[in-house]
Amino acid sequence: MRGQASFGVALALMLALAPDHARAEGGSWSDAEVLGKKPAVHVDLVQTRVSAYDQTGRGYQSQAGPLQGPGSETLQVLQAQGEFVMSEGDHLTHRVWIPVDLVTSASANAIDKYYAKPDVVSTASAQNMAQEVQYELTDRADADTTWTGGVGFHHEEPFLSWFYALEYQRSLAEDNATVSVAANEVLDWFDEFGLGGVRRGRASRASSNLNLGFSQLLSPTTLAALSYGVTLQRGELSNTWNTVPLAAGGRESEALPRERVRHAASLALQQYLPWHGALRLRYRFYRDDWDVTAHSLEAELRQRLADWLLVGASYRYHHQTGVSFFTISAVPSSSPYATADSDLAGLFTQTIGGNVTVNLPTERLGTLFLSCGFDHYFRSDKLRVNVATWATGFRY
């Protein structure tokens, strides 16, 4: 096989370097026949994005406070992202996405002993860095069929994660409808800590997800979409450093079931508005076998004010019930499971946001776009999050 490959390369080079009239005299060879048609490579998008995330609040799972809680949930994240999209020929599209997070937190990794200062065991409770790389390849197999595969890797102290994805999408009814099936697998590997910050070794979990989607063009200006997803999680589902206050005083480690089945269904409606705007409405229903039921409503409005200026506004409301074993005053013998994590409590949240995008066409570099946005998230337990985002790049 190696000899055959070498002969093919030599023949291709010899014909490529020969004068044009020599190839023409033979009458049976052409550049395309010998070398194959050179694929057209086109850069579609180059983008950088910076997001600043500021969280304040208090939660009983945090040890950054009184022994019985609640402790601080203060968290700051600065995330830088790079994204590159390139099409190859008529069928292939490549996408590379690289986010890097710089995290400062008083409690996210508070695995120290009760009265010790943070960072006795891990520096992640004061400052941490997370890196991630994702690659995605889309193949348009024919006019109606698209396959997309993706892989990725995430690393931060003390956590590693690998993920894989595959999606099939089919257009129906002369592109008036689409159906899709997507599968995702995430493998996490991380340090396991005991009460007081003693490392017990390594723990792992796996998340397997299957999504089904269907969209239908209801009119030239209206699109509806329906989706359903199920996720099975197995392994260590706690981060292993969360703790629970005890009714008798002191704390114990959080204990969660080792399996969780999660279901989510959503319905979305997108409507073009005659004054150069677009409205998107979405409802999502969630249910899992930990007895959590959630309802989410989202609305997003985008308006073009000029050929170069686009503004948007969004609102989201979310309500959920808590897990049956949530407590802020645990009695050890009453249940094998216990958590004080505020994310697993009954609550409602709201998010209000806005964004502005400026598009500036250039002669050689495509369209330069500049975008900025701000979101304010707040919930019933008084947790507050502000997110500011700035993005810039070129679309070709």
Q: What is the pLDDT of residues 3-46, one digit of tens each?
A: 434 333 333 333 333 344 444 444 555 555 555 555 588 999 99
Q: With residue 31 as reference, give the H or E element that holds it.
A: helix 31-35
pLDDT at site 68: 81
pLDDT at site 311: 98
Higher pLDDT, 36 or 245: 245
pLDDT at site 192: 86
Q: What is the DSSP string of 254-285?
A: -B--SEEEEEEEEEEEEEEETTTEEEEEEEEE
Q: How far apart are CA 216 and CA 270, in angstroms?
A: 11
Nearest to 50 by CA among 94, 126, 102, 95: 102
Q: What is the pLDDT of residues 215-230, one digit of tens each?
A: 999 999 999 999 999 9
pLDDT at site 250: 85
What is the average pLDDT score of the chain? 85
Q: How far apart are CA 250 and CA 254, in angstroms?
A: 13
Beta-carbon contacts of 203 under 8 Å, excluding residues fewer than 6 positions away, are 189, 190, 191, 192, 235, 236, 240
Q: Which of 32-36, 51-55, 243-247, 312-316 has the lowest mean pLDDT?
A: 32-36
pLDDT at site 113: 42
Counted residue by residue, the chain has a size of 396
Q: What is the pLDDT of residues 303-315, one digit of tens each?
A: 999 999 999 999 9
pLDDT at site 97: 95
Residue 148 has pLDDT above 60, yes or no: yes
Q: Which of 117-126, 261-270, 273-282 has the lowest mean pLDDT?
A: 117-126
Q: Which fold has domain 40-395?
A: Porin (2.40.160)
Q: DSSP label at 67?
A: T
Contact by Cβ (8 Å): 204, 186: no
pLDDT at site 29: 55
Residue 269 has pLDDT above 90, yes or no: yes
Residue 185 has pLDDT above 70, yes or no: yes
Residue 110 has pLDDT above 90, yes or no: no
Q: Which of 280-289, 298-307, 324-333, 365-374 has the lowest mean pLDDT?
A: 324-333
Report residue 344 as tokens: 């697993």
| Beta-carbon count within 10 A of 395 CB | 16
